Structures are given as C-alpha cells and as structure tokens.
Amino acid sequence: MPLIPSQLLNCAFFLYKNRDDALAGKGAGGTGFLIAAPSPDGLGHHYGVSNHHVAVSGLYSCIRLNAVSGPVVLEFGPEEWIFEPGKDDVAIIPLDIRQPGMLVTFVGTNLLLFPQAADEEKIGPGDDVFMVGRFVDIDATQTNVIAVRSGTISTVPVPIVQPNGYNGPCYCVDMHSRTGYSGSPVFVYRTPGNTLEWALSGGPVALNKSLLALLGIHCGQFTEELPVRKKRKPLSAEAPLSEKAYDEYIEGLSGMTCVIPAWRIRALLERPELVEHQRRVAALRKENR
C-alpha cells in the first residue's frame, strides 16, 4: 500500500477511563478519531468519534491526544457522549481544542463515504482499505503511537450484530485486528491504475483514477473456532482420517473485521442534541466577534 501521510495518522486518539490512566498510559481502552463539519463562519464544528461499547458502556470516555509538548488529556464522562439509543455502535462528543502545538488532524465530513458515492465509484469487494488505531502491546506512556493495519473489502454492507447488540449494516473487511482498535477510522483508497475494470471492458488502464474516503468505523471482529490437537502418540500416514481429527477447539479472532459505514456517523451528527450544540456555538462565536 502507499505511504500514509503523518497528518492522516493524527486523526486518531486513544481512550482511557480517567485522566490519571491517560497520563500514565495504563488501563488500555480503545481508539477514536477526529472529524469536522463545515459551519457558515468557516471555523467548523469539531467532534470526537468512537464506539458506544468503548466510550459509553465500556467507560473509556477520556481522550488523549498528541501535542509537541506531550500528551493532552480531555476528560469526559460516559454520559457526555451522544449516541442514538438502540442503534449503531457509534458515539460522538463535541470538542473545543484550542491548545497550541496540537498534533491533530480533523477528517472533514466531505470525506465520509455515502451510498450514492459508493455506488458511483463501484466501491466493493477487492477495494483496498486501511485503519489507523491503537495496538495495545506497544502503548507508550508519553505519546499515542498510531499503528496501521490494512486489508480489502470483503462484502458490501450486510446486517451484522454489532457489539452493542444492534443488528445494523456493516462492511465485512478482510483485515486483522484485535482489542484496542475498536473505534478506529477505516479508509478506502485507490491509486491510479489499481482497478481491474480494464480487464473486462478491454479498455486502457485508467491512470487518472484515484480515491480516498472514510469507509467507516471499526467496531469488532468475527470469532472462529481454532482447532487444537491433544498430545498423543504420533500417527502414521496411513492412519484413518477420523483418528487425525482435532479433539479440542478454542475461540479466537478471525481475519474478518466489521466496519459501520461512514454515512451512519453522518446520521448521528444530525441528532437534535448536536444540531442544538452547533446553534449555541455559532451564537457564541457571533457574540465574541
């Protein structure tokens, strides 16, 4: 895959249960990311996004961001995150980041993939994706070390039971993950010439076609039964197949990741609480001019 600009990595943040854990870099939680919606005054409205099962029910509601001078912690309670009850495993919180030297990038809502654009661009199985998030085994105490994982879209959105119990549409993505990546942004991309449409149409390779969009938010992985063989005498090559069968199984994570489509994030931004918050922010900015 191509080199990912460092600015794009800076859209991700780490989540902890409280300020002390965040400053110490302990008690690993999940991941979240920054988005910005346009506003009439040009300053934009800014938000943090993660999974409900991380920031709300999981109680990992405290945000840690990178800055030149060290980590910056934004302390919130689970009750401050906004979500749609009984719906997608997504939660959003309004942010006001004014500290100098912040190493942050906000993903514009213009990058959120919508169904019409997905249809027009024929985004689907085989398209390349990557996510930026938290690999808990290298959790550092003084900085968020953003780790990238990559893969391909396996299926278009299909109903899947999300970690919060909601049976909603998700992309299935062939990409390894593990605990800590929940809430990570997942991007779909194309570089010039990397589609196979020319093979079917007989036309030339389209060298001017490129794409980058927020596919959605990672919410979980499928599990599978992994076979384990008990210790016993070595079997000969001629032994019946039934004697070679595995005796025990353990549950592990498969290579299939669930991604809630980005347009579901947009739907959450239109909730009355967030619309009212935008109105209050706009009024305050106008008053302080």
Residue 226 neighbours by CB distance under 10 Å: 13
For 258-268, how does the pLDDT look when each residue is reduced to its tens digit (9 = 90+)?
999 999 999 89
* Residue spans of alpha helices (H) in the chain: 6-9, 19-24, 52-55, 115-120, 197-201, 262-269, 272-287
- Annotate 247-279 with b (16+ C-beta within 10 A) or e (fewer): eeeeeebeebbbbbbbbbbeebbeeeebeeebe
For 145-174, how does the pLDDT look when each residue is reduced to its tens digit (9 = 90+)?
898 999 999 999 999 999 999 999 999 999
Q: Please, are residues 84 and 271 in contact by the beta-carbon 8 Å criterion?
A: yes
Q: Inform me whether the pLDDT recorded for 33 exceeds 90.
A: yes
- pLDDT the model gives residue 200: 58
For 209-248, how does the pLDDT look when each residue is reduced to its tens digit (9 = 90+)?
788 999 999 998 876 666 766 655 555 556 555 555 556 7
Q: Please, are residues 104 and 34 in contact by the beta-carbon 8 Å criterion?
A: yes
- Compute the distance between CA of residue 82 and CA of residue 41 in angstroms, rounded to an integer: 24
Delineate the domains of the chain, giving CATH numbers in brackets: 6-225+251-287 (2.40.10.10)
- pLDDT the model gives residue 203: 55
Q: Please, are residues 131 and 218 in contact by the beta-carbon 8 Å criterion?
A: yes
Q: What is the mean pLDDT of residues 45-50?
A: 96
- pLDDT the model gives residue 29: 86
> What is the band of 42 on the pLDDT scale with cuts at 50, 70, 90?
confident
Q: Inform me whether the pLDDT recorded for 6 exceeds 60.
A: yes
